[in-house]
Amino acid sequence: MKRVGVLALQGDYAAHERAILRAGAEPFEVRTLEDIDAAEALILPGGESTVMGSLLVRFGLLERLVKRIAEGLPVFGTCAGLILLATRVEGYTQPGIGLLDVTVRRNAYGRQVFSFRTPVRTKVPGAEKLEAVFIRAPKIIACGPKVEVLAEYEGSPILVRQGTMLGATFHPELVDGAAIHSYLINL
Ligand code: GLN
């Protein structure tokens, strides 16, 4: 069984652990350098990207994460996790991983009260139709040439892939099924 780490400094990592179990893999919580090294795939959960970024620096985890992801560790960033992965965050210079060639706009749909869920279509096998949950979600406002768009909503990419990196502006861990988690595990 593949051991899938979930960065567990802050945010909705527990929901991802349940999704990993649904996908038939073994989840574990990542808080140390040893945990990062043990992961065969990694999830960066939703939460608050500024908080996660500063905790990564404070706990001395950022460099090792960048190294492993750059070397091809499959990674899936959802919402705040996508913001951490992005090379550019509009209007911010916050610590992050900076490897997924997209520009994101934080809180692009407005405040918490403007969070919503809506049916979307994706190119991921088994997740052709999906209920997407957006919680103070970012928007991907630009993508580099190596980025493949796997789903869009209202003309903006909401699920993207670049090699072994996946990013979603929504929360697939909060709905039934686990097709996108399975996709990550099999990258
Ligand atoms: N608004 C958060 C941020 O900018 C992301 C929200 C989420 O992860 N659900 O980091």
Find out whether the beta carbon of 139 lies less than 6 Å from any atom of ligand 1.
no
Give the residue, out of 51, 107, 113, 115, with the most ligand 1 atoms within 8 A of its beta carbon, to mutate for a pocket test. Answer: 107
Find out whether the beta carbon of 106 lies less than 6 Å from any atom of ligand 1.
yes
pLDDT of residue 8: 98
CATH tag for 3-185 (out of 3.40.50.150, 3.40.50.2300, 3.40.1390.10, 3.40.50.880) = 3.40.50.880
pLDDT band at residue 7 under the 50/70/90 scheme: very high
Secondary structure class of 179 (helix, strand, coil): helix
Find out whether the beta carbon of 105 lies less than 6 Å from any atom of ligand 1.
no
pLDDT above 90: residue 177: no
pLDDT above 90: residue 118: yes
Q: In whole angstroms, what is the distance from residue 84 CA to residue 87 CA?
A: 8
pLDDT of residue 79: 97
* pLDDT per position as a tens digit, 34-91: 999 999 999 999 999 999 999 999 999 999 999 999 999 999 999 999 999 999 999 9
Atom number of ligand 1 nearest to Cα 83? 10
Find out whether the beta carbon of 135 lies less than 6 Å from any atom of ligand 1.
yes
Domain range list for the chain: 3-185
- pTM for this one? 0.96
CA of 45 to the centre of ligand 1 (A): 9
- Strand segments (E) across the chain: 3-7, 26-30, 41-44, 75-78, 86-89, 100-105, 116-121, 129-134, 139-143, 148-153, 156-162, 165-168
Q: List the residue whose alpha carbon is closest to atom 8 of ligand 1.
A: 46
Atom number of ligand 1 nearest to Cα 171? 9
Region 12-24 average pLDDT: 97
